[in-house]
Amino acid sequence: MNPKVSIIVPNFNHKTFLQQRLETVFGQTYQDFEVILLDDASTDGSRAILQSYKDHPKTAHLIINNQNSGSPFKQWQKGIELSKGEYIWIAESDDYCELNFLEILLGRITANTGICYSQTTDVNESGKTLLNRIDYTKEFKPNIWKNGFEITGHEFIEKYLLVKNIIPNASAVIFKHSLIDNTVFCKKMLSMKMCGDWFFWVRVCGRTNIVFIPESLNYFRNHNAISRQHDTSLKKKTRLQEEGAIRSYVYGKWKFNIKSKNRKLMQKWFRLHKFSDIFSAHFYGLEIPQTNAISLFLKFISYKLK
């Protein structure tokens, strides 16, 4: 009989946090699961920790790459392809959770719901609380994350997920395996460095309803190595390009659009470029709904002449 949940633990150089992650996975109060351990060619000694769980009765697979795949989402894809559970939980290797995480989420999910996620608390490298993510959604009026809710995927995308990625940590989520087909992990997503998870949720949420649980059951590790550090011009440009691609996809798929967000995205892009960049193909690599290369050029000139 197949397990109810497949837990995918994709690791890359998280030796410092890996033991706690695995303890909170294998120690769940709900035990009908398999664990898929993946390592993307770590160089920090993570492999030894993973190898110590190789013969655990819950471990279905341990796969260690000899060469880094270049994308965490390729690891997500690999894990899902190997999985046999009705539900998927991508338990990121630097995060951890309450031991009743699965029990509570599975108890709240409904027949019409394919995605369920809990509130998250940000912690530092030593596990000290930094903030609760309820503040991350305070711009929404009302802040529906103060209470539990169930919402259709289309409404979730149009009103909330298109504003920003309000599922900021995959470790807080379980979702139905049946939502994933061979179109979800598109080439564009697999090439993303910063917004691939946002793109993933957009593509999957449109297929189902979403349930949110206000209890903080998940702990997101905020440390120096996380990919969300936008500390160079190149990273900032990459981040804007990926966000633009997501907004363009949503507009093309459902005609959902937030013009104010598009405008701010362009302004940030323009601030990172100088006049001579109009002769570079890279400048026109920003996707914006209802904007082509000519209109991008004209808006850039207008912005710079102000």
Does an H or E element contain 16, and which?
Answer: helix 15-26
Question: Which of the listed residues 221, 255, 280 is the one where a domain comes to its end?
Answer: 221
Which two three-digit tokens encode residue 28? 């769940």
Residues 75 and 205 in one domain: yes
Is residue 169 within 8 A of residue 136, CB to CB? The reply is: no
pLDDT of residue 227: 53
Is residue 85 within 8 A of residue 3, CB to CB? The reply is: yes
Q: What is the CATH number of the domain that holds 201?
A: 3.90.550.10
- Facing residues of 61 across strands? 36
Q: SS3 of 132, please?
A: strand
pLDDT of residue 176: 98
In a domain, 280, yes or no: yes
Give the tens place of pLDDT for each residue, 166-213: 998 999 999 999 999 999 999 999 999 999 999 999 999 999 999 999
Question: Which of the listed residues 186, 221, 256 is the one where a domain comes to its end?
Answer: 221
In a domain, 202, yes or no: yes
CA dist., res. 114 & res. 210, Å (int) = 6
Residues 252 and 161 in one domain: no
In sequence order, the 6+-apart residues with CB closer than 8 A to the CB of 104 are 98, 118, 213, 215, 217
CA dihedral angle for residue 180, residue 181, residue 182, residue 183, rounded to 10 degrees: -80
Q: What is the DSSP string of the chain?
A: ---SEEEEEEESS-HHHHHHHHHHHHT-S---EEEEEEE-S-SSSHHHHHHTTTT-TTEEEEEE-SS--S-HHHHHHHHHHH--SSEEEE--TT-EE-TTHHHHHHHH--TTEEEEEEEEEEE-TT--EEEEGGGGGTTSSS-GGGS-EEEEHHHHIIIIITTS-S---GGGEEEEGGG--TTTS-HHHHH-SSSHHHHHHHHHHTTSEEEEEEEEEEEEE--TT-TT---SHHHHHHHHHHHHHHHHHHHHHH----HHHHHHHHHHHHHT--GGGGGSGGGGG--BTTB-HHHHHHHHHHHHH-
List average pLDDT for each run of 10 residues in the chain, which is 306 residues long. Answer: 96 97 98 98 96 98 96 96 98 98 96 96 95 95 96 98 96 98 95 96 98 98 70 94 98 97 97 96 96 97 92
For residue 164, the enclosing domain spans 5-221
pLDDT of residue 229: 60
In a domain, 20, yes or no: yes
pLDDT of residue 306: 81
Q: What is the pTM of this model?
A: 0.95
pLDDT of residue 228: 54
In a domain, 230, yes or no: no
Residues 168 and 264 in one domain: no
Residues 65 and 214 in one domain: yes
pLDDT of residue 224: 73
Closest to 90 (Cα-Cα) out of 185, 5, 153: 5
Residues 202 and 263 in one domain: no
Residues 137 and 286 in one domain: no
CA dist., res. 149 & res. 79, Å (int) = 29
**Residue for token pair 């989520």:** 173
pLDDT of residue 223: 81
In a domain, 172, yes or no: yes
Q: How many domains does the chain have?
A: 2
In a domain, 256, yes or no: yes
Residues 210 and 257 in one domain: no
Residues 61 and 176 in one domain: yes
> CA gyration radius for the chain?
20
In sequence order, the 6+-apart residues with CB closer than 8 A to the CB of 181 are none
DSSP class of 272: T
pLDDT of residue 60: 98
Residues 169 and 261 in one domain: no
Closest to 170 (Cα-Cα) out of 251, 107, 242, 226: 226
CA dist., res. 77 & res. 16, Å (int) = 25
Residues 190 and 271 in one domain: no
In a domain, 233, yes or no: no
pLDDT of residue 225: 64
Residues 265 and 154 in one domain: no
In a domain, 153, yes or no: yes
Residues 73 and 206 in one domain: yes
